[in-house]
Chain A
C-alpha cells in the first residue's frame, strides 16, 4: 500500500492476537501527510471502525495518542490487551 511521493513512510507492527488475525507482523507503509494511527487502523482494515478501547497504540516504542499525526520514519505498533506478570 503506498501513496506516491509523500515521503511519509512508517513501519507498522502488530503483536499477539492482532498479528495472528491480520496474518502479518510488520509492514513498511507510505502514507498521506497527516495520517494518524486511527486513520491507518481503518486504512489497513485491522478492525471494523475505530480502534477498540482495548487496543493501545505505541509510536517509537512509547504509548501514544491514536489521533496524533505520524511523522516520517515512525515505528507504529498496535498492542492488544496486555497480560504480563
Chain B
C-alpha cells in the first residue's frame, strides 16, 4: 500500500570522489567513523524501512569506441540539474508511494571505477522500492542535464545518449 506522506528526498552532487556505501551507512561522502544507526534512512528520521533498493553506477574502464578510458568528465547545469533531480525524485516517489529517496551524482572529472551515481529508495515493500529506483535511474539519465565526455588516448569525445539498459 502506498505511503500517504510525502517522501523524504535527498539530492547531492559531488565534485570529488564519493563512497556510495558510506552514504548508505550514513557516514557521509568520505566514509569514516560514526555511522548513523539505521544508515541514511536513520539520518532522515525514518525507522528501519522494511525494504530498500540501491543502485550504484561506476565509471567503466572502456570508452564507447572500445579504447581504454582514461577519465570521464561530467558537466552539469548548476541549479537546473539539482532542481530536475528533485522534481524527478519527487514525482517518482509519489507515483510509487515510497518513504524516502536518496540520489547522489558525481560531477567533474571521474576515473574508472569511481562511483558516478547512487540511487537508494526506502519503502514498505520491495516492489515499490525496486520499481521506483529503476524508474528514477532511467528518468535521470534522460531528464536531468548532465553531459559526459570520455577521455581516451588524450582525446575527449562527448557522449551523445545513454548506454543500453542491457
A85 to B166, CA, bound (A): 14
Stretch at the interface among A27-35, A65-73, A76-84: A76-84
- Which B residues lie within 8 Å of A80 (CB)? 147, 158, 160
Quick check: B141 and A85 within 8 Å, CB to CB?
yes
One of B116, B117, B137, B145 near A82 (C-beta < 8 A):
B145
Quick check: A83 and B77 within 8 Å, CB to CB?
no
Q: Which range holds the interface residue count of chain A?
A: 10 to 19
Within the complex, what minimum Cβ distance (angstroms) separates A84 from chain B?
A: 3
- Which A residues lie within 8 Å of B137 (CB)? 85
- A17: interface (CB < 8 Å): yes
Within the complex, what minimum Cβ distance (angstroms) separates B119 from chain A?
A: 8
Quick check: A62 and B145 within 8 Å, CB to CB?
no
- Which B residues lie within 8 Å of A15 (CB)? 75, 77, 145, 147
A80 to B75, CA, bound (A): 11
Within the complex, what minimum Cβ distance (angstroms) separates B104 from chain A?
A: 12
How many inter-chain contacts with C-beta < 8 Å in the A-B complex? 69
Q: Which range holds the interface residue count of chain B?
A: 20 to 34
- B149: interface (CB < 8 Å): yes
- A10: interface (CB < 8 Å): no
Known A-B contacts: A15-B145, A84-B141. Give 11 more (CB < 8 A): A13-B77, A58-B80, A61-B77, A80-B147, A82-B143, A83-B146, A83-B159, A84-B74, A84-B117, A85-B57, A85-B141
**A–B complex contacts, Cβ < 8 Å, 15 sampled:** A15-B75, A15-B147, A16-B147, A16-B158, A54-B160, A58-B80, A62-B83, A77-B77, A80-B147, A81-B161, A82-B145, A84-B117, A85-B117, A85-B140, A85-B141
List chain B positions with a Cβ less than 8 A from chain A.
57, 74-75, 77, 79-80, 83, 105, 116-117, 137, 140-149, 158-162
